[in-house]
Amino acid sequence: MPDKLDQAREQLARANRMIAHEGVLDAFGHVTIRHPTDPGRYLMSVSRAPELVQPGDILEFTLDSKPVKPTDIRLYGERVIHGGIYQARPDVNAVCHHHAASILPFCVSGVELKPVYHLGATLGSKVPFWDSRDDFGDTNLIVAKPEEGASLARALDEHWIVLMRRHGATVAGKTLEELVFRTIYTARNAALQIQAHVLGNVSPLTATEAELAGEYNLRASPISRAWEYWSVRLDKAEGTYRARKANKKSPGKRKTKARR
């Protein structure tokens, strides 16, 4: 039987690289998942660019964001973002923090991010803002203290994405696959909203449309279809893709009997 922890490390490393390959993560940002057998822990890479993360980089952390096994390896400074959310939200099993270029204008301006097309409905019913100044005054904008992580988790509340003023976004999901889907498509939704605003008219989804489209898109079938697509794109970029062998020969290559 495959080891669940090894499988989780493999999938988490792939998710880091996948989201980076799709242009949402760059040198910074991070993705985590709750431990597959111990809900009181989560998995996170050591500090390196998401595009480079491999299974061997993945360590275990307590929900207080401390490594289960002491290490001298450099860790992400903002891991309390993840630990705080896992503590506050038992239904969340995956988290991504990023600074996508399409999201940052909303974080800077305070303009509300809204679903403007069907795949953007994974934003949920509302996208709250969190401003570190409200609770902590002037800071270096890095969320590194436990109380800062807890404050951010309170702002997220029951929602699935929270915008961090002058910083970036944090996205949550019930599964890793759902998280990847939501992270990529909400970043694309943000870009479309900005483009539509330039044209002069933004017509967002109604609350009912967003609810119905969100439920439809978060079914297992659309999520697995997108995961496979992004996974193959990643394999091709990394030079590891091998096309599946067809079960049947192409019609154009079938042998035909010679006519007599």
pLDDT 10s digits, 186-236: 999 999 999 999 999 899 999 999 999 999 999 999 999 999 999 999 999
pLDDT 10s digits, 3-34: 999 999 999 999 999 999 999 999 999 999 99
| Nearest of 187, 135, 138, 136 to residue 161 by alpha carbon | 187
pTM score, whole prediction: 0.91
Q: Is 78 a catalytic residue?
A: yes
Options 22, 78, 148, 177, the catalytic residue: 78
Which domains, and CATH codes, for the chain?
4-113+126-233 (3.40.225.10)
> Hey, what amino acid is at 145?
K
The phi-psi region of residue 122 (left if phi > 0; otherwise alpha if psi is between -120 and 50; otherwise beta) is alpha
Q: Distance between CA 134 and CA 118 in Å, rounded?
A: 33
pLDDT 10s digits, 136-162: 999 999 999 999 999 999 999 999 999
What is residue 127's DSSP assignment?
Answer: -
Report the DSSP pairing between strands 161-164 and 129-130.
parallel
Query: Could you tell me if 20 and 98 are in contact, meaning their C-beta atoms sit under 8 angstroms apart?
Result: no
Confidence (pLDDT) at 2? 65
